[in-house]
Amino acid sequence: MSGSPCGRLGKRFLFQFANEHLDFRVAEFSAIADLFGIKLESGWQSKNIKDPFWEFQLSSSTDAEKLASRSMLVKSALELWGKGATYPEMYEDVRQNTAKHCMIPFCGNGASFKIKVDTYNKKQTQEYKVQRINDLPLDVFPLEGKIDLKNADHILQICENYGEDHNTAPDTPCMVYFGRWLVDGQREKIKTYNLKERLFLGHTSMDPCLSLLMANMGKCCKNTLVFDPFVGTGSLLVSAAQCGSYVMGTDIDYILLHAQGKPSRAKQKKRSKDESIRNNLLQYGLQQFYIDALVADASKSSLWDSRLQVDAIITDPPYGVREGAKKLGSEKNDPSLTEEDKDGHVPQKIDYHLSDVFRDLLNFAARFLRIEGRLVYWLPVYSPEYCEENIPRHPCLQLVSNCEQKLNSRISRRLITMEKCHECQVRLITLCFSGV
């Protein structure tokens, strides 16, 4: 339902978030709004990330549905009819902002409906929930339609918020919301792309929720080109492809790309012949978006045609915890080969230092991203010594977001999103960032 003459009905919306990855909420929501060209009210980024309920004023329910249609952190979106610190306050808010006859299409004669009660940070009995429904005053809520608990035309929802800590939850909710359910977020995709069922798996295959978050940060969408220079088993390609992006990648590890090494899955003795990135995408019906994965050194940008342009670079660089970073090279002063040696030669690899990994990655992004194209990557940090100056910088890239995932009390990694703002001149390719 779009704009309505009835007060603010159709213009207030409530988004309920899942209780995980709190530091990613603003960045993901902002990226999705930017992707769909949805303007959010000024100052919304200052919302409390610990509060699972965010209220927005939007031009239509279509905008709310678009925002939820891509989000991995949003549980559901409601057309908000009223809110209050107590039930009487909520009733009064509904009365003040929503004319009764505007509710009739959803819960009056001629429409079937059901009412759900959702509680955050406190379990309540079914009897309690039924009582909350029975207490709704009919002079405010025209509940005269047909009740259908299985196939209702419309779902109305009461949301009770009991605060941030379930261990100290009060007896009564600190905030109550009421509205019409519009749509769920994309949480079910976490199960759809579960790594336990993934055909081709590696030691560092990305968790599906984080992988899909990265695709959202990169604004992956239909008919865009996404590149992963450290592709591994292609987890990030799968997530980008399910958004409609065409995907490609490189990795220096020939053994891994050809599934010839030791299996990563428990109790699997050897890899099967059908393990490949292509078949990972085929497993989900996404094979039409797969371009290829090449055995190549990410530090050698010269192998690419200067006319290459990609819409997003989404990657998880190796940081030496489970998989050490390597690049082609030699410790010898003169690594040249004779013609006889070249036949069947396997290039030597040397350590790829962390600072060099990120320098080359940013330089590659500055050179081959289109203007407004995005670079999304993980940066490992030692939490006690971290400061924002540690984030790699490049004159052609602007920082969009910086989200932390804590791994333990001392180590974390930060998901960095940057956007290309200037065309890169050849002379800038050698410039470095301020350091890791």
Q: What is the pLDDT of residues 379-430, one digit of tens each?
A: 999 999 999 988 999 999 999 999 999 999 999 999 999 999 999 875 444 4
How high is the pLDDT of residue 304? 92
How high is the pLDDT of residue 425? 74
Whole-number CA gyration radius for the chain:
26
How high is the pLDDT of residue 10? 46
**DSSP result, 143-156:** --SEE-SSS-SEEE
Among residues 187, 221, 250, which one ends one of the domains? 187
- 348 within domain boundaries: yes
* 296 in the same domain as 215: yes
Q: What is the Cα–Cα distance from 383 to 292, expressed in whole angstroms? A: 37
Among residues 166, 67, 171, the alpha carbon closest in space to that of 120 is found at 166
Among residues 153, 187, 221, which one ends one of the domains? 187
* 364 in the same domain as 314: yes
Q: What is the Cα–Cα distance from 26 to 49, expressed in whole angstroms? A: 8
* 309 in the same domain as 203: yes
Name the domain count of the chain: 2
Q: Strand pairing partners for 82?
A: 178
* 177 in the same domain as 56: yes
* 245 in the same domain as 173: no
Q: Is the pLDDT of residue 198 over 80?
A: yes
Pair of tokens at residue 165? 């800590």
Domain that holds residue 101: 12-187
Q: Is the pLDDT of residue 9 over 50?
A: no
* 231 in the same domain as 376: yes
* 241 in the same domain as 220: yes
- 91 within domain boundaries: yes
CA-CA-CA-CA dihedral for 27, 32, 34, 36, to nearest 10: -170
Whole-angstrom distance between the N-terminal and C-terminal Cα of the chain?
49
Q: Strand pairing partners for 315?
A: 377
How high is the pLDDT of residue 141? 92
How high is the pLDDT of residue 335? 59
Q: Strand pairing partners for 380?
A: 413
CATH code at position 419:
3.40.50.150
The model's pLDDT over 95-115, given as tens digits with 9 standing for 90+, comes to: 998 888 888 889 887 889 999
The model's pLDDT over 18-27, given as tens digits with 9 standing for 90+, comes to: 999 999 999 9
* 58 in the same domain as 160: yes
* 226 in the same domain as 169: no
* 218 in the same domain as 103: no
* 248 in the same domain as 119: no
How high is the pLDDT of residue 94? 95
Tell me whether strands 246-251 and 225-228 are parallel, antiparallel or unpaired: parallel
CATH code at position 43:
3.30.2130.30
* 217 in the same domain as 121: no
Phi-psi map region of 169: left, alpha, beta (phi>0 left; psi -120 to 50 alpha): beta
The pLDDT of 325-353, averaged and rounded, is 57
| Centroid of chain to Cα 156 | 28
Q: Strand pairing partners for 412?
A: 381, 406
- CA distances to 302, 336, 353 from 333, rounded to whole Å, are 22, 9, 19
**pLDDT-derived band of residue 336, with 50, 70 and 90 as boundaries?**
low
Task: Report the chain's mean pLDDT, rounded to a whole number.
Answer: 89
- CA distances to 165, 249, 254, 367, 421 from 427, rounded to whole Å, are 53, 26, 32, 11, 17
- 238 within domain boundaries: yes
Among residues 163, 187, 211, which one ends one of the domains? 187
Q: Is the pLDDT of residue 7 over 90?
A: no
Does residue 350 contact residue 331 with C-beta atoms inside 8 Å? yes
- 205 within domain boundaries: yes
